[in-house]
Amino acid sequence: MILIGLTGGVGMGKSTAATLLTRRGLPTLDSDVVARELVEPGQPALAEIAAGFGADMLDASGRLRREALATRVFADEAQRRKLEAILHPRIRRTWLAQAEAWRRADRSHGVVVIPLLYEVDLAKDVDRVVCVACSRCTQRARLAARGWSPEEVDRRNRVQWPIEKKMALADYVAWSEGSLDVLEAQLDRILAAC
């Protein structure tokens, strides 16, 4: 099986590309979805976050106050690293186990969406890297449509490698600036080359 690591900047089209690959029959796992599942009430990671960051990170129903935590960790690198130490090993174990299940099921390809693939040194764990990218102008417009302020976009971009660096290191680049048809065609060519 060829395990594809799908990466790119925030708001650059990773989820859209993953959806298109899923429609083509490729099994796909999104590490951001795994991260959200790991912090559901009753999960050990949530308890560890509450212990490490304070009970005020939980709302009255015991759910993670995501925005409050994001504000704290994106403003303080030590706090971000502390959160990453709680979540990243658990996320990695989850997607490696899923990849192994795909191998046992004799799947030809599998896709793991990992926004911080290079930043946390996970490229060595996949067979091919596809970087989904767009211009910074398009990225900002997409994130503004989600309600993100320019300051929030800058905070998130600061903790990720520049997209140009990710593109240079990737085996393939899918440029998500155009229509879905154009992105689909690029992904088809990439899959044919894998």
Give just the sign of the alpha carbon dihedral 157, 158, 161, 167. Answer: positive
Q: Where are the domains of the chain?
A: 2-193
Inter-residue contact 46 to 83 (CB < 8 Å): no
The predicted pLDDT at position 96 comes to 96
Q: If you ran DSSP here, which 8-state letter would residue 58 be given?
A: B
The predicted pLDDT at position 151 comes to 87
Give just the sign of the alpha carbon dihedral 90, 92, 97, 98. Answer: positive
Nearest to 111 by CA among 167, 185, 36, 172: 172
- List C-alpha distances in Å: 74 to 31, 70, 150, 152: 19, 6, 14, 9
> Cα angle vertex 43, ends 111, 16, to 5°?
25
Strands 2-8 and 28-30: unpaired
User: From 1.50.10.100, 3.40.50.150, 3.40.50.300, 3.60.21.10, which CATH number describes the 2-193 domain?
Assistant: 3.40.50.300
Q: Which residues, given as ranges, of the chain have pLDDT below 50?
A: none
